[in-house]
Chains A and B, each alone.
Chain A
Amino acid sequence: MKAYIQGTGCVSPQDSSVFPATIREYEGSRMLVADPDYRQWIDVKQIRRMGRVIKMGVAASHISLQDAGVAMPDAIIMGTAYGCLADTGVFLNKLVTQKEDMLTPTAFIQSTHNTVGGQIALLLGCHAYNNTFVHGAFSVEHALLDSLMFLGEDPSRKVLTGAVDEITDYSHTILSRFGLYKHTKNTGLLQSRTTGTIAGEGSAFFVLGAEKDAQSKAELTAVEMLYKPASAEEVRTHLEAFLKRHGDVDLLITGRNGDVKDDAVYGTIEDALFPQHPVAAFKHLCGEYPTASAFAIWLGTLALQNREMPAAAMFKGASPANLKKILIWNHQHTTHHSFILLTAC
């Protein structure tokens, strides 16, 4: 089952108005979204109740719909690992400090994981199928699989699919206690060769259709997941079988994040299966977060449209001329591996 990406939208730590010509540089242990002026897409009266994560999701979804020329999707299917963390924190804090009394509804109604999908639907007046997958680092991939099945039922449909996750002060403090992050510059992250990475956040949305048309920017050829492989050898076996089914690729995009413990498996398998292939990366641009593979799909689609991967994203070698086929291989904590194949239209 495959689909065509007909519109893309992204809100990320990179300023999309100048990316990829200019890369935003960060120094620290987290990369926050370069907030666009959300009033472009959201009425001031409505924006006041929205947390950052909702604004990111609404903006990215609107950009992708505009890009696709689709006013009303037939489904909204998205993924998020953390959901609306900031408002969950606000609500829980009030619960404690106000001793469960005089609790206001705003933070509560914004604290559920499917609030973003709901807000997108409310603003569009879209009463269609609306589902949010909360499957940790596989949330994007499950949203994509559901989208593909939804398109399989009726090829005339258009699906708005995507993902969003945010960092909050609380979540960053708690996750930092696990030793996940380090203080560094994002521009040197992938060469740092120490433990820890930079936390990230963002939202990317896509309009998918089953049929190729003038709007089609790339083909979403395959989506696969591998959970908790016993060894690098199991990842290699899975990838070999994947390549046998789908053929060789021009470029590999890996989820390298600058943490030696996470990046080792990429190096091992690249040497074995992709020794001559150019390799790109993306987490020095968006940071590490569970739905970061949505940013990689956005980047891959941009590269396929231009037939070239931006130099700022290249990790090894140069982008091939006339780029046609990209494999995105991302993993989080070596447990959640995903393989997403994109092909030029």
Chain B
Amino acid sequence: MEDLKEQIIRQLNLQEVKPEDIGNDQPLFKEGLGLDSIDALELIVLLQQYHNVRIANPEDGPNIFYSIRTMAEYITAQQNKTA
């Protein structure tokens, strides 16, 4: 999850945010880290670029991108499926 936080900070250019500032269960959007719809597109690309994971059903997006933990669990689950 620490690697994922660093990837997100780099991809979204989150100036002045450090990995330790992002809680594993903290919401990424709105009241949490304050990400928006453009960031959501950046996160989709991040999953493809860094983890070779695609989101099959766009309706799952809000659940997958809810927090660092939900993202990490989705990545692990998808990678286990293809392993």
Interface residues of A (CB under 8 A from B): 44-45, 47-49, 102-106, 109
Contact = CB atoms under 8 A, between A and B. Distances in A.
B41 A48 contact: no
B14 to A, nearest CB: 6
Contacts, number: 24
A44 B42 contact: no
B58 interface: no
Q: Determine the interface band of chain B, counting residues with CB < 8 A from chain A.
A: 10 to 19
A48 B13 CA distance: 6
B15 A44 contact: yes
Nearest to B49: A102
A224 B80 CA distance: 69
B15 A47 contact: yes
A48 B14 contact: yes
Interface in B27-83: 34, 38, 41-42, 45, 48-49
A48 B12 contact: yes
A51 B15 CA distance: 13
Contacts of B45: 102-104
A104 B13 CA distance: 13
B16 interface: yes
A224 B42 CA distance: 46
A48 B42 contact: no
A105 B41 CA distance: 7
A106 B41 CA distance: 9
B13 A49 contact: yes
Nearest to A103: B45
Contacts of A109: 38
